[in-house]
A and B are shown apart, each in its own frame.
Chain A
Amino acid sequence: MSIFSEVPQAPPVAVFKLTADFREDSHPQKVNLGVGAYRTDECQPWVLPVVKKVERLIVEDSSLNHEYLPILGLPEFRSASSKVALGDDSPAIKENRVGAVQALGGTGALRIGGEFLRRWYNGTNNTATPIYVSAPTWENHNAVFADAGFKDIRPYHYWDGAKKGLDISGLLDDLEKAPEASVFVLHACAHNPTGTDPTQDEWKQIAEVMKRRNLFVFFDSAYQGFASGSLDKDAWAIRYFVSEGFELFVAQSFSKNFGLYNERVGNLTVVAKDNENLTRILSQMEKIVRTTWSNPPSQGARIVSKTLNCPELFAEWKGNVKTMADRVLLMRDQLKAKLQALGTPGTWDHITQQIGMFSFTGLNPKQVEYMIKEKHVYLMASGRINMCGLTSKNIDYVAQSIHDTVTSVQ
């Protein structure tokens, strides 16, 4: 008898199961609009030219070795990453009250931040502090905070299915009613999965309530630069909150905007009231990191650090990011145009109003099932599609498939 005989089979992660099913499908016109990774117009993964260049520089640099990084990570990476989020001229940085923890992608940054908050925020080891995540949100948010020890994870109103936009009054209402000190996970830009972000005015309203009610701000920033093509534009909300005096966390991911998905490059930026508080916070972050991964992996952080800290490479990177963002914008335009040309029932403006990698099509679960089974177009059960999966070669087929689905299935 096995000591593991009582261990139940866990269900697979939905987005990876979708890709596995896609791979097994032999239909010649199959399209994968599931997992969130950039694809070229040839539907291939894209290693950014600047990344290839910097990888070669690194491998030729004999002054580099493989000695352990500090627990909190590569210092030049941490500071450059925080600057990207907060802006070079951020007063908070000048006041020495911004610190960071190099983490394993956005997931790692959320986890370390979550662990810290559970141990030290709103009392000590207060597992009852409510954590609010948007309805809907990235499928892993809930579980990350639960595994960090929080017992009360709740949704806040976000997506208005009827108007296909932001339910700002529902959101504000939840902020007014949440217990003081609740933690809110905010998507800095390019909301996943809806692609719908608050306007600047809406962000201001959100910030006003959060400040008044002492709610904790935890930004998840996985798409900076990728959403609009402009790093600064995509960081507007983060910078606004910092300028309003919030202490906050930002979980940054460089998976998408550097295309470095598998090197796990992330950064938890910490904005504190002052340097003294920051020092104590970082000392406790070290303890959390030490029992999770000890110290972080070097390769991805070196690539990003070299790029961000060198003006020519930084400019080249911004060009690569714009290439990706522009292709997504083009696919958005074309998909909407084709659906309108086909006279597909419904309104399709949301496709170009939404921002970032994803679009919340509005297709319901039955329609999604039809898309997959009958059309071999793979998308998430929520109706979320990855715009990067669209190409000039498959966009007609996808538009036609949506049309057929919407007209056949209610």
Chain B
Amino acid sequence: VGGLEHAHIIIPLLETLARVEETVVREKAVESLCLLSHQFTNEAFEEHYVALLKRLVNGDWFTTKSSACGILHIAFSRVSPMAQTELRSLYKTLCEEETPMVRRSACANMKKLIPHMDKEVIKKEFVEIFKTFSKDEQDSVRLLAVENGIVIAEKLNEEENQQIVKPVISACAADKSWRVRYMVANTLCELCSALGKEIAQTDLLPIFVKLLKDSEAEVRSASSSKVTAIAKIVPIELTIRTIIPCIRALTTDESQHVRAALASDVMGLAPIIGKNHTTEHLLDLFLQLLKDEVPEVRLNIIGKLDQVTPVLGVDELSQHLLPAIIELAEDRQWRVRLAIIEYVPLLAQQLGANFFNDKLGALCMTFLGDCVYSIRDAATKNLKKLTQVFGDSWFKTHILPKVVELSKHNNYLYRLTTLFSINTLSSIVDSDIVTNDLLPITLDLLNDRIANIRLNVAKTLRLLIGVVDSGIVEASIKPSLNKLLEDKDRDVRYFASVALKCCKQ
């Protein structure tokens, strides 16, 4: 637009946009104004910017006032102290606006303003506003006040927080509206770090315990997912004495969502409180959740096992886990079975080959024969991951015989699964194994009576071409494909020809 001196021309345009009804447009205009602010000299900036803000604040409509709330914070860093005082008083009028939308915008933007203020100003002017917002009649304003508490607390010292911020947070934690209490539960960790260790232990911990027992399930859910984070901040004895009894009660909470939230977080306590305490206090809680009637809860526990195994050890854990895993692996809902398969590689890694072979190996092969396609598909991918974990010789000893068996199954779907397994495995196992073991299985199916099988043999052979020696290709694969070229099924012939083209390349 012609350089620094002329940047002010854009302001009226952006001002118009900032007055627009659509929230998204207003926000973008405000963002552009922010970017523009750097283009000005200080005096020019103050002149234009502050005047713009005044116009927005004194406008007739709530939309312009809400806009003003969003851009006030940019001005602060750039203007003279006198102008700052003026802007603060503008902000104050916005906070006292009758229309909830403006107050909500003012409250939401307070946390952007606070970092620009020094402590004295905060104490003198903003604390009052903060307190008023926390008692606003509109729920939607009060729940925003919690986050402001965090920002203010970061600026004040512990003693001041004790006097100023803590009482407000305590009030919010006991608010009639569950949504406000939920906000406290959700931001409790940030509150702890902002208010300081002492307040965290003396005041926030009891609040946390209360929220774990809240009458509204949503609040209990939010608190349950913060158990580990809070336990990291407080001494172990306090955790054992105050938090764990609540967790005990939550494992039998009437809401499955609460139990599920708890299950996905509670395992993290193990490394914090150590082996002895875990065995004494937590193990039976884990086991209870592991037997929950709702699959999601059980799955959440299994998903976080990696946090507990280093603490408790594989043997102890495995004897408790195995029945639960097997039960989930046979669950009626296929999505539950799918989730178990997805954990199997992780479990394999943690539990080691021996444990796996004994107990889980058979299970994995059963998955290959599941009635649901997605499970069979996941099972083949699972085989690949397991082979990557345990290695080729393990594969040859334990899995290969079963794959051969599967290839001779009566049901064609399982013979098909064999081919899919070969597809995924061919890329990771040693080419020797491919040539000596996997290829023969594939070729055995060449004359299968089902066309779909023969079709997939062609597809598999195509993949194997890239893996085996060219000699083998010539000796075994090509002749087989040529045979398929004369198959009575059109699709078989087609895929055979596609594969043959790869031979030539």
Task: Decide whether A and B are members of one complex.
Answer: no
Chain B residues with a Cβ under 8 A of chain A: none
